[in-house]
Amino acid sequence: MARSRQPLIAGNWKMNGLRADALALARGVAEGVKQAGWTDREVLVCPPATLLMAVAEAVKGSGVLVGGQDCHSNASGAHTGDISAEMLRDAGASHVIVGHSERRTDCGETDATVRAKAEAAWRAGLLPIVCIGETLAEREAGRTLQVLETQIKGSVPAGATAAKLVVAYEPVWAIGTGKTPTVAEVAAVHAHIRKILGGLMPDANVVRLLYGGSVKGSNAGELLAAGDVDGALVGGASLKADEFLAIAKAA
Ligand code: 13P
């Protein structure tokens, strides 16, 4: 049975938040989600690893899901400073973001690295959110679809199914800039992504595709209504409970 495309609204807190503020944010999101009582969408927060356990505890019983922002591909071992998917799971995570463009740029992650991390997520029982997206130079050179196809084919492991994978399309030039593609562009790119995934997995028609890049309360409605968009990966706007809840409401 194919899984339905239940919207997923995910907050990527990135390297933001000390304990007091982060827990207040987590509680604010949890309270809002609990009050809304949504059964038709999922809300996920991805705090820094240092806060994962405390955030998981703070949102307990609210329905809010918790995820990591990255994981190592190995389960354990001599990898100073790294965190495994098993450790994230042990800390209360159900999801993990892999291949975010900031990690591809800051840490030199390749498609092969990202693919290994997605496989690690499966090994640990986590749902990987595989990020892809073109740079401004690639977009201006008219290479967007080609770049995304290469990233998808290199980053999505063999054996993917809709129940085991979420893909987030985040144009690099739209992250933290206040700029977004038009709704028509998002719909066209997502349709292309779904088509490419169709060659790699049996049920790409129901795999969830998130849009990310300058999503906020005021533009979430139209972006989330675009064809083939099944949710959002939110950075800056996920750091304010009200703003993040407004996006979840728009889903
Ligand atoms: P912004 O929402 O701040 O543009 O960030 C998007 C993002 O990178 C989420 O992973």
Residue ranges in the chain modelled with pLDDT below 50: 1-2
Q: Please confirm, yes or no, whether 100 is among the known catalytic residues.
A: yes
- Give the model confidence (pLDDT) of 135-183 as tens digits: 999 999 999 999 999 999 999 999 999 999 999 999 999 999 999 999 9
What residues line ligand 1, using a CB cutoff of 6 Å? 12, 100, 170, 175-176, 212-215, 233-237
Instruction: Could you please state the CATH topology (level 3) that the domain comprising 8-250 is classified under.
Output: TIM Barrel (3.20.20)
**Residue-level pLDDT at 2:** 42
Distance CA 166, CA 3 (A): 12
Alpha carbons 86 and 37: distance in angstroms, whole number: 30
pTM to 2 decimals? 0.98
Alpha carbon of 188 to ligand 1 centroid (Å): 20
Give the torsion through C-alpha atoms of 29, 31, 33, 37, to 10 deg. Answer: 180
What pLDDT does 49 receive?
98
Q: How much of the chain, in percent, has pLDDT values that exceed 90?
A: 98
Residue of 100, 119, 134, 190 with catalytic role: 100
Is 190 designated active site? no
Query: Given the CA of residue 215, which atom of ligand 1 is nearest to it?
Result: 2
Using the mean position of ligand 1's atoms as its centre, give its distance from the Cα of residue 212 in Å: 6
The domain segmentation of the chain, as residue ranges, is: 8-250
The closest residue, in CA terms, to atom 2 on ligand 1 is: 235
CA of 1 to the centre of ligand 1 (A): 32
